[in-house]
Amino acid sequence: MRQGPLQKSSASPMRAKICSVARFGFEGDMDISVRNRTEMTGQILPHRSRAGLFQRPQYRADRHGITLLETVLYIGLFAVILLSATTFFLEFGQSRELFARRAQMEQSSGVILAYLNTELTGADAWNVSASTLGSVNGSLVYTNDDGVSVTIDRPTEVVTFDGTPQSVNRLRVTVSEQPAEWVTPPDINVVAFELSEVTDGLGATTGLNLTLELFMLNPSGSALRAAFFSSQTTFALHPATIVL
């Protein structure tokens, strides 16, 4: 029996719907918009699973942390850098301390030489006969511009250094009957305070030559305190100064 045009057009959507239901297996879970598009086009759209929204990301298998060998290499490199830095700072500290000791020595010697230069050039008389010349344990007696007798000598004093009694040679100034005053600090040993007379061709005294040697007190033998100072200075005789 031949069908009319209306019957043929109404049967076509029904076949598309039955085909879509057969391929999915059920129609209830299908989205309405998907079903409508299926009915109109006759094509099946892929079904989206809700479980995919909560799946954990898959990490690549080649990712890894720091290995034991790398850790050992890093520790070794850090140890080398730390050792170099420690050595540098220790040497810097030692050099700085040694420089400070030498600066202290030069300051003490500068005070001694400036004091002697001021006193001897302005003295009324040099008592050479009462002085001790030609010895490292020398002494100098003179009369200052006030007419007062002054004695500079090198006695031995016992001082406590690092908890241990030490014998130190220090320079001392005694002005007439007044109490003696120390010129050098207790941690500097005056190794030599030697005076010698300077004369002209006629044997007249024209000056005094001073050999001064200082050494930093160093009972432990550490190189940090091994500072030494030595100088030779000549003090000219002032024309107004007489020699006794």
First-to-final CA distance of the chain: 168
Number of independent structural domains in the chain? 2
- 199, part of any domain: yes
β-pairing, 205-216 vs 188-199, is antiparallel
Residue 164 domain flag: yes
CA atoms within 13 Å, Cβ hemisphere of 47: 16
Kindly state whether residue 60 falls inside one of the protein's structural domains: no
- Same domain for 183 and 129: yes
Section 10-23 average pLDDT: 46
Print the domain residue range for 153: 87-243
State the pLDDT at residue 6. Answer: 44
The whole-number pLDDT of residue 97 equals 62
Cα–Cα distances in angstroms (integers) from residue 149 to residues 118, 169, 175, in the given order: 15, 23, 6
Confidence of residue 67 (pLDDT cuts 50, 70, 90): confident
Residues 224 and 110 in one domain: yes
Domain for residue 219, yes or no?
A: yes
Distance from the Cα of residue 51 to its chain's centroid: 64
User: Is the model's pLDDT at 52 over the cut of 60?
Assistant: no
Using CA atoms, how far residue 86 sits from 74, 79, 94, 128, 230, in Å, is 18, 10, 12, 57, 34
Same domain, 29 and 97: no
Say whether pLDDT at 173 is over 60: yes
CA 197 from chain centre, in angstroms, equals 49
Whether 127 and 232 share a structural domain: yes
Residue 61 located in a structural domain: no
The answer to whether residue 226 sits within a structural domain is: yes
The reported pLDDT for the residue numbered 20 is: 45
Q: Which of 4-13, 195-204, 216-225 has the lowest mean pLDDT?
A: 4-13
Q: Per residue in 105-163, pLDDT tens? A: 777 778 888 888 888 888 888 888 888 888 889 889 988 888 889 999 999 888 887 77
Same domain, 128 and 225: yes
